[in-house]
Structure 1
Amino acid sequence: MATIDHLMDNAESDSRLFKQQEALRVNKAREDRIAWWREAKVGLFIHWGLYAVPGGVWNGETVHAAYAEHLQLRARIPREEYARIAESFTASGFQAEAWVRAAKEAGLRYLIFTAKHHDGFAMYDSKVSDYNIVQATPFGRDPVAELAEACRQEDVRLCLYYSHAMDWHHPDSQGNTLDFPGNIGAYDTLESWIHDSDKRTRYERYLEEKAFPQLHEMLTQYGPIGIVWFDCGHKVTDEQGRRFEDWVHDLQNTCLVNRRVRRSGFGDYENTGDNQLHVRQLERDWESIATLNHSWGYNQTDQNWRSLKDVLHDMINVVSMGGNYVINVGPTGAGEFDPVSLERLQGIGRWLKVNGDSIYGTERSPIGKTPWGRSTWKGQTLYLHIWTWPQQGRLFVPGLRNAIRRAYLLADPKREELVCQVVNSEGDFAVHLPATPLDAICTVVAVEFEGELQANPCPVVFPDGETTVFSVFDGELSGSALRLDTGKAGRDVVKDWHHVHDAIVWPVRLVTPGAYRLTAVYGAEESSAGGTFEVSAGNQSLIAEVRGTGGGYIFQSFDIGDLYFPEVGEYAVQVKPLEISGEVLMQLKEIRITLTSGTGS
């Protein structure tokens, strides 16, 4: 028996060693294939398909869909009627070289093209299904082949989007219950059908007949692909998601797979939600995707264009948090970028041409968020992205403990040195700037330092009386029910604040003794929210009563009161209910802290 036990122990030891070696092998493979992506930082998404021809309008009426590419689903267009759009798809203005050149000139390092969206129409030459752009349209050409060649010429990485989970054309897939009433519905949860043997069997048939074979085509017909970008992975099982991930890596082991192949933890990196402006600080590599207006596919009625300032600040914010940023264009049915999209891309390109060193290959801010803008770093240089130019010409920079070699404006061709003044022993310093910025949207200061980076990321309440904002997305939640909303515009709140034991805490560093004003910004529906809450820091606290704002997503700011701190240092600011008199306490958006009187920094 002792001999058997000994052999069993060896078997377990060998098994553990094998698993460890396999994990190292898999991790090294991922590190090798993601290296280019980490350097690239910014990319271009292109949504182009049959839906671009009607451009959000069907039978003369605007279709009120979230996105124009959802036209078939939201307008309830029968499959065969929708397919007839292909007869007028001439794409007379399409030029792959023009698309890729626009991405290149915008400073965007990779291009993600929609090879097949939820409508099931392949935008490449597919032998698996004749429902594709080469066989079904008068255009009759393969855009992916032409884009692959153009990307090689311009040194832009070609990536392909593929809707693996939904296909509204295939009789056994998900989403089209208009033509196929027995199908899985577009909004059906995984749990609602996974134990239905008929639906699961039919769905597996779709995967085997179309999804996997088309994926094989995409990865064997066009040379190296940077990413296969999957979508709606919440509609497939873990096992199915893993099969897709393995399928890609087996065919091209240098090709990345995004998280939406299934869920968080799958693929090579994470994705945020569409146009998600507020995110938690993620430890894993991640990517944010955003549109220039609202829709992803071309929508002729959508004139809600974002400003260049908004896009650039969004990009800088994402990169400062360690993410990649991908901006989307939806070309017209003719295959052309609209003038506003081109203008925005050109603006991005002008800024990156001057300031690209502060974006490409950089890492997340080592000093946290600041009221004046954001930061990145690379090597021995800290990049300060200044959105709000200091009126007194003195920029307070917190938490860099390294000795500073020199500082200069990145856009200054002469790189004249700026005066830096050490403020205290905590690594805080001030940069003295010219009276006006070189770029009204964002001027970048490069600060070269000595040695290995040493920084304090704890958020600082600024000493000059400027308000410092602490978003709920930057706090730590505790309790059983409290959770973050989607983080999209107007949805950057905590919700489900049902229990008095649930709380949110922010680490805060004060660099000036004195009195600090605390302000809460929240939404509260009078009929369902109410109670009292405590805002505390150190051994001090303030108590406030929740006041109605007219709705949970109608925000107002309320001064809570002042706290006096005789000593500098790090504190934990906590918001916690004392009593909840409604269904919820409130929907808190942020806490603002302002030095109202102090002894100076």
Structure 2
Amino acid sequence: MGDQTDLQKTGSVQQEENLLDDPLQALKEESGTGQDDVHERRIAWWREARLGLFIHWGPYSLPAGEWNGEEIEASYSEHLMLRARIPVQAYEEMAEQFNPTSFDAGRWVRTAKQAGLKYIIFTAKHHDGFAMYDSKVSDYSIVRHTPFGRDPLRELEDACREEGLVLGIYYSHAMDWHDPDSQGNTWDYPGNIGAYDDVESWIRDEDKRSRFDHYLHRKSLPQVRELLTEYGKVGLMWFDCGGKLTREQGELFLTTVHALQQDCLVNSRVWKSPLGDYANTSDNQLETRTIRQDWENIITLNDSWGYKKSDNNWKSPVSIIRQIVDVVSKNGNLVINVGPTGTGEWDPVSEQILLEVGDWLRVNGDGIYGAGASPTAKPSWGRCTLKGQTLYLHVFEPPADGYLVVPGLLSQVKRIYPLAGGEDLEYQWLGSSDLVVRLVAGELEAKDGKPVVLAVECSGLVNGNAVRLLMNGDGASHVYDLGVFESEITGTALRYDTGKKNRDNLLDWAYLQDYASWKVRVAGPCTFAVSLEYGCGDEGGGSFRLEAPGQTILSEVQSTGGPYEFRSVELGELHFAEAGEYTLELHADRIAGTYLMQPRKLSLRPLHSSN
């Protein structure tokens, strides 16, 4: 489904990298682990931690995205061997030069702790097949293949134990470009399974199937066993590209881990969701949805996971903090990646970003650690998290009039105060379910754009109404954005895009019966000017309608120059005659091309109230 011609214009590199993101293949069924007592005990520390550090480090950090003096077209430097089709022998010779004498496990872990991160996930073996620990299964390791001769994983285990951080281990179980029986390397081994081949393409090929199964039992499973028996208590095993396995193969890895360490967590990429103790988003997915009770978002500080010398596209500390808050507000964990250099040091920009995030967490961490989703509605000014009987208001954009509306709170309030210190704040109620907090002028302005956090202590269990509140025109100047990732979609083919940068839209709108819907609430009569942001290329087109109770807005799809060239188009006005909850539905009226359009968000701008 979808516009393949237009999609090719968006770049083949990102498309191919997306094919390795297993969450897009997740099955729509309940978790196979079950919420039993063992699982609850296993996951408890992880729910409390909320924040982790990913470390992508291997011999690929030496060329740092370049080969033979040229930059290789790849977002991720750890994919260098695949993207440049580097022969095994040449990659081995490069890896022999890996001698990171500046590596200091203690400093790495202390910095992570100072940044407010509670667990570390270290790449014991990535897709290049090189073991970053003292493997007895294969000599292709940092201990036996390089002059460095030390075991970084062992040193990190010791440092984590000393500093009180949980050690997690990344292991690429399905992909190994060094091994003649694994997947991905078809330039040295033409008979291998290709890096982007799905399971159906090889499962009935006796040679490919049997050789791959041989690899799993000869190298992959034995290395997993040694990681879980030689490095003490492991908090979690983080597998990757498990969607390239059969379900039975994925279950074998899952049961192997739990047989060796019952309390060790396993992520869903051991195969794909519903397997594993928690689910993963796509790589670098910035727009997220709650995908399971326990889920994890993973992001880099720039674009690459491994160190890439040309990658200076840094995310700001503010954007990292907002991502933390957004993910925790949906009951998820966030893992932030660092790619150390070939000498074993962190890029100073990476370190500075993380330390600045840590400064914010030292003041506001109560609203993050052990916190989760709030039963109240998403506010226009930021996000809410909940821990026990305290609701935390993370204020991204303080309202200009100084009155902060907390929508959908149905519990009695005892007191409200800023976590950074200061006097209790005054508040009042707007109707029976919306709290209004009076901000102190000048004292609660966000510093450098970082969220200010207020604690709302409630009496008893915190209850709420999660339906988005749209305020009327009296004093409401905010434009309400309803992103498609907030919508519920219904139909045959319509789906959410990856959620990565500029991919926060819907895809594959090819059937008339498919539609997206949002629930909203208004506190009184009001009218909104409505616009829709979408992208549409030459292969798309048609017409659509926005429906609300008793009213319909029709509009023709306009070409925006491409499916990812987004443009906002004015649709008209919606009027709500009285207070209540309403459903907005976006439907296809006519599809003229291979797809209708790729919508990104509805925007509602208050005009005036009607009495």
Name the TM-score, length of structure 1 as normaliser: 0.94
Task: Choose the corresponding residue for 1:505, options 508, 517, 521.
Answer: 517
Larger relative contact order, structure 1 or 2 (CA cutoff 8 Å, min sep 6)? 2
How do 1:8-47 and structure 2 match up within 5 A?
Answer: 27-47=36-56
Render the CA deviation track for 1:562-598: whole Å, top value 9, x for unaligned. Answer: 1221201100001112222222221111111122101
Question: How far off its partner does 1:332 sit?
Answer: 0.1
Show the counterpart of 1:184.
193
> 1:398 corresponds to which residue?
407
Whether the 8 Å CA contact 1:110–1:159 is kept in 2: the answer is yes
Separation in 2, partners of 1:87, 1:495: 45
**Distance in 1 between the 2:179 and 2:554 partners?**
59
**CA–CA separation in structure 2 for the residues paired with 1:379 and 1:434:** 29
Indicate conservation of the 8 Å contact 2:377/2:464, yes or no. Answer: no
Does the Cα contact within 8 Å between 2:100 and 2:148 map onto a contact in 1? yes
Contact 2:324–2:334 (CA under 8 A) maintained in structure 1: yes
Does structure 1 conserve the Cα–Cα contact (< 8 Å) formed by 2:405 and 2:434?
no
C-alpha displacement at 1:276, in angstroms?
A: 0.8
**Quick one: which of 578, 590, 595 aligns to 2:601?**
590
Q: What SS is found at the alignment partner of 2:36?
A: helix
Equivalent in the alignment of 2:439? 432
Q: Structure 2 vs 1, CA of residues 409 and 240 (structure 1 numbering), >3 Å: closer, same or farther?
A: same
C-alpha spacing 1:282/1:87, structure 2 compared with 1 (3 Å): closer
- Contact kept? 1:257, 1:268, Cα under 8 Å: yes
Identical amino acids, percent of aligned pairs: 50
User: What's the counterpart of residue 430 of structure 2?
Assistant: 423
Q: Any conservation in 2 of the 1:461–1:467 contact (CA below 8 Å)?
A: no
- Residue 471 of structure 1: aligned partner: 483
- In the alignment, which residue of structure 2 is the partner of 1:4? none
Counting only pairs closer than 5 Å after superposition, residues 149-168 of structure 1 correspond to structure 2 as 149-168=158-177
> 2:264, 2:358 → 1: CA distance?
26
From 558, 567, 570, give the equivalent of 1:559.
570
Q: Distance in 2 between matches of 1:558 and 1:238?
A: 44
The equivalent of 1:577 in structure 2 is 588
SS in 1 for 2:574: strand
SS at match of 2:197: coil
Mapped to 2, the partners of 1:353 and 1:143 lie a distance apart of 29
Query: Which residue in the other structure is 2:498 paired with?
Result: 486
In structure 1, what is the Cα distance between the partners aligned to 2:522 and 2:33? 43
CA contact 1:45–1:111 (8 Å) conserved in 2 = yes
Q: Which runs of 5+ in 1 are unaligned?
A: 1-22
The CA deviation at 1:432 is 2.8
Q: Please, which of 48, 57, 69 is the counterpart of residue 48 of structure 1?
A: 57
Mapped partners of 2:247, 2:337: distance in 1: 29
Query: Following TM superposition, by how much is the alpha carbon of 1:245 offset from its aligned partner in structure 2, in angstroms?
Result: 0.3
Residue 206 of structure 2 corresponds to 197
Aligned partner letter, 1:110 = Y
- Give, in whole Å, the separation in 1 of the partners of 2:317 and 2:430: 35
* One-letter amino acid of the counterpart of residue 541, structure 1: T
Q: How far off its partner does 1:283 sit?
A: 3.4
Query: Structure 1 residue 308 and structure 2 residue 308: aligned?
Result: no
Q: Label 1:206 to 1:231 Cα distance change in 2 as closer, same or farther (>3 A).
A: same
TM-score by length of structure 2 reads 0.92
1:259 aligns with 2:271: no
Q: Does 1:522 align with 2:529?
A: no
Counting matched residue pairs gives 575
What stretches of structure 2 of length at least 5 have no aligned partner? 1-31
For the pair shown, the structure with the greater C-alpha radius of gyration is 1
Which secondary structure state, in structure 1, belongs to the residue aligned with residue 489 of structure 2?
Answer: strand
1:104 corresponds to 2:113? yes
Q: Partner residue of 2:14?
A: none
After TM superposition, the structure 1 stretch with the greater mean CA deviation from structure 2, 329-338 or 368-377, is 368-377
Secondary structure at the aligned position of 2:372 is classed as coil
1:26-46, Cα deviation, whole Å (9 max, x unpaired): 721111111000000000000
Aligned-pair Cα RMSD in Å: 1.4
CA-CA distance at 1:444 after TM superposition:
0.5
Q: Letter of the 1:430 partner, please give it.
A: V
Q: Does the CA contact (< 8 Å) of 1:395 and 1:433 recur in 2? A: no
Distance 1:211 1:565 in 2: 60
1:54-133 counterparts in 2 under 5 A? 54-133=63-142
SS at match of 1:288: strand
Distance 2:575 2:609 in 1: 9
> Greater CA deviation, 83-92 or 30-39?
83-92
Give the partner amino acid of 1:426: S
| d(CA) in 2 for partners of 1:433, 1:515 | 30
Contact 1:396 1:431 in 2 (8 A): no
Determine the structure 2 residue equivalent to 1:135: 144
